[in-house]
Structure 1
Amino acid sequence: MPDRFIFTDEAGCFTFNKGQNVSRYFILCTVLMDDYEIAADLLALRRQLAWDGFELGDGFHASEDKQAVRDRVYETILKRPFSVQATIMEKSKAQPQTRTDKPRFYQYGYFYHFKHGVTKFLGADSEVLVTTASLGTRKERLAFENAVGDVMRQTKKSKAWKADFMPSASDPCLQVADYCAWAVMKKWERGDLRSYDLIRDRITYEYDLLSAGAHHYY
């Protein structure tokens, strides 16, 4: 069994133009844990909320949950230790060759996210399971695995690692990543710090990858 667990999610849309309901940023988020006991806490919370009469979806999903549910989720997850890493990409600054398709953009973003944001928190003897919310195609999954694999080989920060893909609704730990990604996105897109402030002290890495870019492509 691995001794470190990484759960990943994204926030923002994969649309490169300006328009209504189009996000300015695309955010990659990871949550690093030493165990997955938080999953049992969230399952217990779900049962309690169902008993209390709350309307619930297939799993906790920050953008869809009512504020009363979000409050309870944050209260629950913050009782357990975990750290958060976030890479922010202002999409209009992304050079066209980095966004020719979705897999290319994933590989570009995740490579730098893991290289600078994640591996520094892994020991050389760590065995790591990286679980990500299901990506849409086999090509997207391969791009993710290639990006993480390249970083692990270059940094030699992990003894062994494996990638797993599953729907967010099937793993409560992925729902933690969803809630953290949403909180970071609310800060960057709208300047809304309500949820961000709750996880602020858990964030060990938050970086605007394209901040040096001066040119906007749209």
Structure 2
Amino acid sequence: MGAALGKRRYLFSDESGDMQCRAGGQVSTYFAVGTLLIEEGELARLRSEMAALRDDLAWSDQGLDSCFHATEDSYVVRDRVFDLLQQFDFRVDVTLLQKNKAQPHIRRDDPTFFKYAWFYHLKHLAPRILHAEDEILIVAAELGTKRVRKAFRAAIEDVMHQCLPFRVKRSLAFWRDESDFALMAVDYCLWAVFRKWERGDELNYKKVQDKIKTEFDLWQYGSTTYY
């Protein structure tokens, strides 16, 4: 018998918090990266059901200005989205970096900090979700500058070469937030996790808690702070 074929998977990604490493009232404590892993058939269902929800909300005079976005949506819209997300089979993983624990060489500029965050997120995650001969499409919400996109791509390539002892076919895409409902879904899930860590608010986190497979505090055992 021949070797078993791998699976085709989709990994949608997002970030939360800012990358400003300084003390300040409007600066986040953490920077977080998150991913949503979903299989092909379930992705089709998610896209279809979220499109139907958008239409239903519009008919109920809750039309969106652009797309679902957790920080901007009304309570009514947000509750409907979280209720819908509970019905799907996907996993979410989040890596959090407490920024005042970042050593100076890590935070010397945004692309360096960004690459570091994504490298350790994927290093932690990839061996858990990928198997020999899998295919994975990694979709990032559009990432501003070319330097940041280059850092993201480099982090993925480094992890694939250093952390996986087998072949995984991967493709990378940068899509606008409003272009895919799965990007909106990961935005919602990451928002819920981030509010839990930043504000101690678990109201919406509890609605998707069973989807959150890992919350990895990268420097949880570090005691040195730099500001």
Aligned to 1:83: 91
Query: Alignment partner of 2:158: what SS?
Result: helix
Instruction: Establish whether residue 211 from structure 1 lines up as the match of residue 216 from structure 2.
Output: no
Amino acid in structure 1 at the alignment position of 2:9 = R
Q: Are the aligned partners of 2:28 and 2:198 in contact in 1 as well (CA < 8 Å)? A: yes
- Please, which of 170, 174, 194 is the counterpart of residue 185 of structure 1? 194
The residue aligned with 1:46 is: 54
Gaps in structure 2 of 5+ consecutive residues = 1-6
Aligned length: 217
Taking structure 1 as the reference length, the TM-score comes to 0.95
- Which of 12, 26, 33 lines up with 2:38 in the alignment? 33
Secondary structure, in 3 states, of the residue corresponding to 1:46?
A: helix
Q: Distance in 1 between matches of 2:126 and 2:72?
A: 28
* Residues 126 and 157 in structure 1, CA contact (< 8 A), matched pair in contact too: no
Using the alignment, how far apart are the partners of 2:86 and 2:98 within structure 1?
A: 29
1:11 matches 2:11: no
Whole-Å separation in 2 of the counterparts to 1:23 and 1:79: 31
What is the rounded CA distance, in whole Å, between the counterparts of 1:167 and 1:49 in structure 2?
A: 22
Q: Give the residue type in structure 1 aligned to 2:55.
A: R
**Alignment of 1:124 onto 2:132:** yes
Secondary structure at the aligned position of 2:25 is classed as coil
CA 1:161/1:204 → structure 2, altered by over 3 Å: closer, same or farther?
same
Q: Deviations over 1:67-118 (max 9, x none)?
A: 1111111111221110010001101111111111111111101111011124
- Structure 1 vs Structure 2 CA RMSD: 1.3
Whether the aligned pair in 1 keeps the contact of 2:10 and 2:39 (CA below 8 Å) is yes
The reply on whether 1:139 has 2:159 as its aligned counterpart is no
1:199 is aligned to 2:219: no
The one-letter amino acid of 1:28's match is V
Measured after TM superposition, the shift of residue 17 of structure 1 is 1.4
Compared with structure 1, are the counterparts of its residues 157 and 62 closer, same or farther at alpha carbon in structure 2 (3 Å cutoff)?
farther
Identity of aligned residues (%): 41
Structure 1 residue ranges (4+ consecutive) displaced by more than 6 angstroms after TM superposition: none
Q: Deviations over 1:8-47 (max 9, x none)?
A: 0011012111222211111110000002221121111111
